């Protein structure tokens, strides 16, 4: 969708009459998005600069201009486009990424990212030239008109408030040489050079015809993209399907093929516990449906699984096209209806009602995903909801699907590939943590599990098991993450003074799970859920303890910076029973997830000695039985009183 389009003469006239900004604002409102004051200021500033550049570029008056082109199947918008023909009568488009930055710093070690002041603070963002180039790549990979009509895309970035330092500018570092070749950068003194750049490609007008072809081009993955992802999956043992995985895969393919033919939406709900192969099926579906020419996206709430599986698919290749197939759920509120053929939602239990950094956008991510796609597939485990805002259980998916008159199918993944193939271990963990009573009271299981006395013993065991980079330390989110100390090598986030032990939280959020250095750092639920390792060492923090033969949970044992229990204190004031139940469920589910990340083995260290003794006895002594009851989190006031008594 193009928010504003006109020819060059019309654009100049709208600027001269002072009506362009009002037109943009009005058009944006029609897309159910209200332009912020900052966005309007950006238009006012940047478009004045572009008007000057266009006027000096000798671009024909009947060349096309598009402002705020919303790329289908994404929430991305291209700031400014000029279209026309070159001297050889080849169709050309110049893509201009506009930035109002006046200060930039280098994001050390993070690929294609820089740091600048946006959204009220300094944040890591994409290099503007990478951004412009990635938009061109998106159009090349998914717009059939660009593919078949041989429309040449020429991206660039224009930072009209920024002055480049020729000797040592962070935007020109060697790391960015590749993307700077593909999309040149123009600073505040670069207006004349940008005008020359545009003039290379636009010498004849097109009466906006090229823009029309792009706007109305069918969204379809290119043949090269289809072949690329298919070849990456082929022969990769990690993505081999067996047994019921293959059955679910074929049922999903059959449903996807029917979607769109009769105008009816379809929703497939696949339930499966840890290690049942949900992600294996999801990635295979992404590859196969893309190979068949469908617009498919793999969607997860956590960025860690997305980044890891993107990296595994790419291998050593730099295939940026793969990035466009992976999405978080936060932008679907802005998608057009049925813009996707297939939405593949992994870890669907982590979906939320509201989207955005401040949870103030959209209304229900499940509804928004179903609406945006002809067919949606949800892989879900109701027992893996680990924050106050997780809403993605089976009942909610069914409710939203029914509200949109979708055809609903269901299936289950039962084969167990985690925890040495043992369903018994999962049942034992559920009974151990008193999540549900099972028949697995005793540890009569072929799985390498035990309790250690010290965190150093846990760390040493993980190091010894890390011979193939598949062992990690995980911890409950009970320790703060002070970002100010990130570059201090002597600082440890997790400190257990009584054992003279310290370790830091993971520094590399993106691919911590597969980075070789990460064995010396601890991961949490947010960087490990949806992933698996051979061996895990788990630190159970002070948010869980053992008392009166019952495991209890303590909200005050969680770090204040953890957002998982945000909203709990407010709910305690209005409905303490519901708050206790939800907090307790989240804490138990969190440790259930951490304790089931290892396929071959797990060691546990508990900060609470009684809990350590309880788990150890449940592991080794078959004669000891503990009473099972529905234990709930202590109210905040009671926790405070207990701690005062202890002191």
pLDDT-based confidence at residue 636 (cuts at 50, 70, 90): very low
pLDDT(640) > 70: no
pLDDT-based confidence at residue 236 (cuts at 50, 70, 90): low
Q: What is the pLDDT of residue 416?
A: 58
Boundary residue ending a domain (359, 393, 413):
413
Q: What is the pLDDT of residue 374?
A: 95
Residues 441, 443, 445, 450, CA torsion sign? positive
pLDDT-based confidence at residue 16 (cuts at 50, 70, 90): very high
Mean pLDDT, range 184-213, rounded to an integer: 95
- What is the share, in percent, of the chain residues with pLDDT greater than 70? 89
Token duo for residue 213: 């072809």
**Farthest-apart Cα atoms in the chain, separation:** 89
Angle value at C-alpha 58, between 56 and 64, nearest 5 degrees? 105
Give residue-wise pLDDT tens across range 43-92.
Answer: 999 999 999 999 999 899 999 999 999 887 777 889 999 999 999 999 99
Q: Are residues 135 and 235 in the same domain?
A: no
Mean pLDDT, range 26-39, rounded to an integer: 75
Q: Are residues 211 and 63 in the same domain?
A: yes
Orientation angle between helical segments 303-314 and 223-233, nearest 10 degrees: 90
Mean pLDDT, range 528-550, rounded to an integer: 92
Domain housing 299 = 223-413
Token duo for residue 641: 């009183």
Boundary residue ending a domain (354, 385, 413):
413
Q: Are residues 55 and 108 in the same domain?
A: yes
Give residue-wise pLDDT tens across range 136-173.
Answer: 998 998 888 998 888 999 999 999 999 998 888 999 98
pLDDT(319) > 60: no
| Rounded (to 5) percent helix, strand, coil in the chain | 40, 20, 35
Q: Are residues 408 and 429 in the same domain?
A: no
Q: What is the pLDDT of residue 588?
A: 95
What HEC string does 617-630 produce? HHHHCCCCCCCCCC
Q: Are residues 342 and 199 in the same domain?
A: no
Q: Are residues 351 and 293 in the same domain?
A: yes
Look over the chain and give the mean of its residue pLDDT values, rounded to a whole number.
Answer: 86
Q: Are residues 551 and 622 in the same domain?
A: yes
Q: What is the pLDDT of residue 623?
A: 53
pLDDT(27) > 80: yes
Give residue-wise pLDDT tens across range 326-380.
Answer: 889 998 988 889 989 999 999 999 999 988 777 788 899 999 999 999 999 999 9
Mean pLDDT, range 599-613, rounded to an integer: 95
- Quickly list DSSP for 333-396: GGSPTT-EEEEEESSGGG--SSBTTTT-B-S-HHHHHHHHEEEEEEEE-GGG--STT----HHH
Give residue-wise pLDDT tens across range 470-527.
Answer: 999 999 999 987 654 555 556 789 999 999 999 999 866 567 888 888 899 999 998 8
Q: Are residues 356 and 485 in the same domain?
A: no
The residue with tokens 């090269």 is 224
Mean pLDDT, range 22-42, rounded to an integer: 80
CATH of the domain at 343: 3.40.50.300
Domain count, the chain: 3
Mean pLDDT, range 277-288, rounded to an integer: 90
Q: What is the pLDDT of residue 630?
A: 47
Q: Are residues 321 and 466 in the same domain?
A: no
Boundary residue ending a domain (413, 428, 449):
413
104-118, 176-190, 449-463, 571-585, range with the lowest pLDDT: 104-118
Q: What is the pLDDT of residue 315?
A: 60
361-365, 404-408, 416-420, 530-534, range with the lowest pLDDT: 416-420
pLDDT-based confidence at residue 37 (cuts at 50, 70, 90): confident
Which is higher by pLDDT, 554 or 625?
554
User: In angstroms, rounded to a whole number, what is the distance separating the alpha carbons of residues 325 and 485?
Assistant: 35
188-197, 234-243, 302-311, range with the lowest pLDDT: 234-243
Q: Are residues 504 and 542 in the same domain?
A: yes
User: In angstroms, rounded to a whole number, what is the distance separating the alpha carbons of residues 290 and 369?
Assistant: 18
Q: What is the pLDDT of residue 433?
A: 94
Q: Are residues 336 and 424 in the same domain?
A: no
pLDDT(641) > 60: no
Q: Whole-model pTM?
A: 0.77
User: In angstroms, rounded to a whole number, what is the distance separating the alpha carbons of residues 364 and 354?
Assistant: 6
Greatest mean pLDDT among 235-249, 436-450, 617-631: 436-450
Q: Are residues 97 and 60 in the same domain?
A: yes
């Amino acid at each position: 969708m193009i928010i504003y389009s006109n020819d060059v003469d019309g654009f100049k006239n709208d600027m001269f009459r002072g009506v362009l900004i009002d037109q943009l604002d009005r058009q944006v409102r029609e897309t159910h998005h209200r332009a912020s004051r900052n966005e309007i200021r950006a238009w006012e500033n940047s478009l004045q600069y572009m008007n000057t550049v266009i006027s000096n570029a000798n671009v024909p008056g009947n060349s096309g201009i598009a402002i705020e082109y919303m790329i289908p199947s994404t929430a991305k918008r291209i700031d400014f486009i000029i279209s026309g023909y070159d001297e050889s009568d080849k169709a050309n488009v110049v893509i201009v990424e506009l930035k109002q930055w006046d200060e930039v710093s280098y994001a050390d070690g993070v690929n294609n990212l820089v740091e600048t002041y946006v959204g009220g603070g300094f944040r890591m963002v994409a290099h503007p030239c990478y951004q412009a180039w990635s938009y061109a790549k998106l159009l090349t990979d998914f717009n059939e008109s660009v593919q078949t009509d041989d429309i040449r895309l020429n991206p660039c970035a224009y930072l009209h408030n920024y002055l480049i330092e020729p000797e040592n500018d962070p935007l020109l570092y060697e790391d960015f040489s590749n993307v700077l070749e593909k999309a040149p950068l123009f600073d505040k003194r670069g207006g004349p050079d940008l005008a020359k750049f545009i003039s290379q490609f636009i010498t004849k007008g097109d009466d906006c015809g090229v823009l029309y072809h792009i706007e109305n081009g069918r969204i379809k993955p290119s043949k090269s993209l289809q072949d690329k992802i298919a070849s990456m999956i082929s022969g990769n043992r990690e993505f081999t399907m067996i047994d019921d995985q293959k059955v679910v895969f074929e049922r999903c393919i059959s449903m996807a093929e029917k979607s769109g033919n009769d105008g009816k939406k379809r929703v497939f709900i696949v339930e499966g516990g840890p290690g049942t192969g949900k992600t294996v099926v999801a990635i295979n579906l992404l590859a196969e449906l893309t190979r068949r020419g469908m617009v498919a996206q793999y969607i997860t709430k956590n960025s860690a699984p997305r980044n890891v599986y993107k990296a595994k698919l790419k291998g050593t290749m730099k295939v940026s096209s793969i990035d466009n197939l992976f999405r978080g759920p936060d932008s679907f509120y802005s998608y057009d209806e049925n813009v996707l053929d297939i939405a593949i939602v992994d870890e669907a239990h982590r979906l939320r009602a509201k989207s955005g950094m401040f949870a103030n956008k959209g209304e229900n991510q499940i509804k928004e995903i179903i609406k945006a796609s002809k067919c949606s597939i949800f892989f879900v485990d109701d027992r893996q909801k680990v924050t106050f805002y997780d809403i993605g259980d089976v009942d909610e998916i069914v409710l939203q699907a029914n509200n949109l008159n979708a055809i609903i199918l269901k299936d289950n993944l039962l084969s167990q590939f985690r925890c040495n193939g043992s369903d018994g271990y999962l049942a034992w963990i559920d009974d151990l943590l008193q999540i549900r009573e099972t028949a697995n009271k005793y540890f009569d299981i072929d799985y390498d599990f035990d309790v250690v006395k010290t965190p150093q013993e846990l760390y040493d065991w993980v190091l010894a098991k890390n011979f193939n980079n598949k062992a990690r330390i995980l911890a409950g989110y009970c320790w703060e993450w002070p970002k100010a100390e990130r570059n201090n090598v002597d600082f440890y986030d997790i400190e257990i003074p009584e054992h003279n032990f310290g370790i830091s939280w993971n520094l590399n959020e993106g691919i911590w799970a597969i980075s070789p250095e990460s064995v010396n750092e601890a991961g949490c639920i947010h960087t490990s859920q949806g992933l698996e390792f051979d061996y895990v060492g788990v630190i159970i923090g002070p948010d869980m303890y053992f008392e009166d033969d019952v495991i209890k949970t303590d909200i005050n044992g969680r770090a204040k910076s953890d957002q998982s229990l945000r909203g709990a204190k407010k709910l305690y004031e209005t409905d303490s029973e519901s708050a206790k139940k939800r907090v307790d469920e989240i804490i138990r589910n969190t440790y259930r997830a951490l304790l089931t990340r290892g396929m071959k083995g797990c060691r546990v260290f508990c900060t609470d000695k009684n809990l350590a003794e309880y788990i150890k006895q449940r592991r080794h002594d078959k004669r000891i039985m503990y009473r099972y009851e529905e234990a709930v989190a202590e109210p905040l006031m009671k926790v405070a009183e207990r701690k005062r008594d202890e002191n």
